[in-house]
Amino acid sequence: MSSPKYQKLEDEEPATQNLLTSSEIEPPKETETLDDHAGPQLPKGYGTIPQTPSRNQRNYANLGEGTTQNPNFHLPVEEPDHLCYSLFTLLCCCLPLGIAALVFSIQTREAYQRGDIAAARRNSRLALILANTALGVGLVFIIVYIVLVVIMSNKMHNYQPPPGQ
């Protein structure tokens, strides 16, 4: 550092900055927004990336509105609750299995309204299995009943009283 320029700069003390305290800082005007201070920006809707919901967010759009605008967004498929089928099996086939199918049908609807798609799928599947089982058991009982009635009517029709009575 033999140059006189460098020695002169080293000898001088750096100038201190006048820092403002928090009471001296002016609060921003209420009409100003952060966008006013952010610098030049693209116009809204032009060249911006559309926001898509993350996996953990639930975003249900109205069916008639905006579903064609974002092809990456899919509405969750509502699971069928099989309520009518469960009621039919409850009343006409097998009462205990029909009651169980009806309970799971109602739980399917409630789970979908909560947004719990996994529980809705599970309950829908159980309601369908129980309703099918109730229908099968009911049909077996009906067929057995018809066979027994036919056998009994044939025995009654072919009945001949013993002689002497």
- The CA-atom distances, in angstroms, between 31 and each of 27, 28, 34, 35, 36 are 12, 8, 10, 11, 10
Q: pTM for the whole thing? A: 0.51
**pLDDT tens-place values along the chain, 165 residues long:** 556 665 655 555 555 556 666 566 666 565 555 555 555 555 555 555 555 555 555 555 544 444 455 555 555 677 788 999 999 999 998 999 999 999 999 999 999 999 899 999 999 999 999 999 999 999 999 999 999 999 999 888 887 777 876
Burial string for 60-94 (b: 16+ CB within 10 Å, else e) reads eeeeeeeeeeeeeeeeeeebebbbebbebbbeebb
Contact 133, 93 (CB under 8 A): no
HSE-CB of 146 using CA atoms within 13 angstroms: 6
